[in-house]
Amino acid sequence: MAVADYKLTETDFASTGAEALPDKVIGQAEYVKGMIDGPSKDVIMPKYNGLIDELVQELAKVLKNSGAQILDGSLDASGSVTSGRIVSPFFKIDVVDGSLWFTGGSRQFRIHYDSGNNLHFHVYNSAATSVVASPLRISSSGEVVAPTINATDALKSQGTYNRTTTAAANTHISDSASGHHLYRSTSSQRWKTNINAADLEEIRKVLLKILVVNFTSLCECDDPDKVHTGFLAEQLAEIDRRMATYGTDDDGNEQVEGFDSNELISRTVAGWQIHEMEINGIKAKAAKFDALSALLVSKGILTQEEINGLEG
């Protein structure tokens, strides 16, 4: 029979319902009880059990056609059953104590919550005895952490790469001591206090000490043959430690990691301002010299050729 054939209709109760009883019942109590129980035992129960059997057979056909089968219990979406297994020729899915295990090839993948309601994604070896990698963890507060064990890979997003903008970079990755968090970098006045003008003379002295170098990179993602022009973060830190960024080595000691672009850019702008002020001062002096030269020529004190000779 098809699943639809198990629908209940009025005709199913024609011989067992109350309307089938005689107007006057004469007989034993067992007859009366049988007529009362008739609809449920003779109609509902067979239809219900037949429907369940039909559904199980249909599910078995689907699993058979896909090459999978259910073993060792069942997978209950309501959560009332905490163990079960689905097996196919290419993969195996287990539910054990609230953890979902996906096995394929030489690795097992596990998804589970811990006692703090943090969602973990782990990659195990084939025997599930050791963690090969933990590529992702989502905390109860919605924080996404990746990776945490054998961190040789990185967060990747081609969709983010494909969405371009001419806006300035605004992301900072903190060091290990701060948990390698991603932060939005800002220069808004809303987040600043104790604002005052910088000492331009001090900035001049700092800029004159900075060493600009050419170098080739040892970074794994760089072209080893390309010659770069840049700075040495350690040298910047020696001049003014505010111009460098810091992390920690394997022993927990502070080490220089890079230069703070905001610190360096602001000093570069200040250096340009100093340069412009000096140029404007020279221009003003030159204008006065031209006016004085013209006056000397008009008074007959010097000729223009003599003045040009002074400039040489």
pLDDT for position 24: 62
Residue with the bigger pLDDT between 1 and 236: it is: 236
* 126 or 91, higher pLDDT: 126
Q: Which of 20-24, 38-42, 132-136, 252-256 has the highest mean pLDDT?
A: 252-256
Name the token pair of 249: 């080595």
Least confident among 128-142, 186-200, 298-312: 128-142
Least Cα distance to 47 among 92, 16, 12 occurs for: 12
Instruction: Assess whether pLDDT exceeds 90 at residue 283.
Output: yes
For 216, counting Cβ atoms within 10 Å of its Cβ (0-12 exposed, 13-18 middle, 19+ buried), the class is: exposed
Token pair, residue 88, equals: 């196919």
Distance from CA of residue 237 to its chain's centroid? 31
Q: Is the pTM of this model over 0.85?
A: no
- 175-214 burial by CB neighbour count: b if 16+ within 10 A, else e? eeeeeeeeeeeeeeeeeeeeeeeeeeeebeebbeebeeee
Residue 189 near residue 195 (C-beta atoms within 8 A): yes
pLDDT > 70: percent of the chain: 70
User: Residue 211 — φ and ψ, nearest 5°?
Assistant: -95, 125
Contact call for residues 217 and 223 (beta carbons, < 8 A): yes
**Cis amide bond preceding 22, omega within 30:** no
Instruction: Give buried/exposed letters for 91-101 (b at 16+ CB in 10 A, else e).
Output: ebbbbeeeeeb
Distance, in Å, from the CA atom of 182 to the CA atom of 146, rounded to the nearest integer, reads 11
The pLDDT of 97-118, averaged and rounded, is 79
Over residues 62-103, the pLDDT tens digits come to 665 655 555 544 444 333 444 556 655 556 777 777 788 777
Q: β-strands 99-104, 107-113: how paired?
A: antiparallel
Q: What angle do CA 18, 22, 24 make, to 5 degrees?
A: 115
Paired strand residues for 120: 112, 137
Give the tokens for residue 91: 């993969």
**Rounded Cα gap, residues 233 and 215, in angstroms:** 13
Burial 246-273 (b: 16+ CB within 10 A, else e): ebeeeeeeeebeebbeebbeebeebbee
Q: What would the pLDDT profile of 233-269 be if each residue is shown by its tens digit?
A: 999 999 999 999 888 888 888 999 999 988 999 999 9
